[in-house]
Amino acid sequence: MDNMLNISSSPHVRRPLTTRQIMLIVILALLPTTVVGVITHGLYSLWIILSAIISAVLTEFIFDKICKKPNTFLDGSAALTGLMLALTLSPSVPLYIPILGSVFAILVVKCFFGGLGKNFLNPALAARCFLLISFGKTMTQFSVDGVATATPVAELTAGRAVNITEMFLGTSNGVIGNSIVALLVGGLILWAMDIIRGEIWISIILSFTVIMGLFGGQGFDVNFLLAHVCGGGVVIGAFFMATDYVTSPVSRLGQTIYGILIGGLGALFRILGSAADSFSYAIIIGNLVVPLIDTYIIPKPYAFRKSQIKLQNGEKKKSLLKRIPKAVIVLTLVTLLAGVALSSIFTVTKDTIEAQKIAANTESYRAVLPEAESFESVRKADDAIEALAGGVYGTSFGKAYINSAVAGKNAAGETVGYVVSATSGDGYDGNITLSVGIKADGNITGIAFTELNETPGMGMRCDEPLFKDQFSNRNVSAFKVLKNGGSVNPDEIDAVSGATTSSRAVTNAVNAGLDFFRNYLAGGAEQ
Q: Specify the pLDDT at position 312.
A: 58
Q: Kind and range of the H or E element at 219? A: none
CA distance 27 to 119: 20
Q: Specify the pLDDT at position 516.
A: 93
The low-confidence residues of the chain, meaning pLDDT below 70, are 1-16, 141-162, 274-277, 299-361, 523-527
Q: What share of the chain is helix, strand, coil (3-state, %, to 5)?
A: 55, 10, 35
Question: Mind listing the pLDDT tens digit for each residue in 44-76?
Answer: 899 999 999 999 999 999 998 898 888 877 788
Residue pair 481/493 in contact by the 8 Å Cβ criterion: yes
Q: Specify the pLDDT at position 75.
A: 83
CA distance 437 to 367: 9
The residue extents of the domains of the chain are 370-520
CA distance 117 to 119: 6
Among 361, 226, 204, residue whose Cα is nearest residue 286? 204
Q: Specify the pLDDT at position 145.
A: 43
Question: Mind listing the pLDDT tens digit for each residue in 210-257?
Answer: 998 888 878 888 888 888 888 878 899 899 999 988 888 988 889 999
Q: Specify the pLDDT at position 147.
A: 42
CA distance 15 to 323: 15
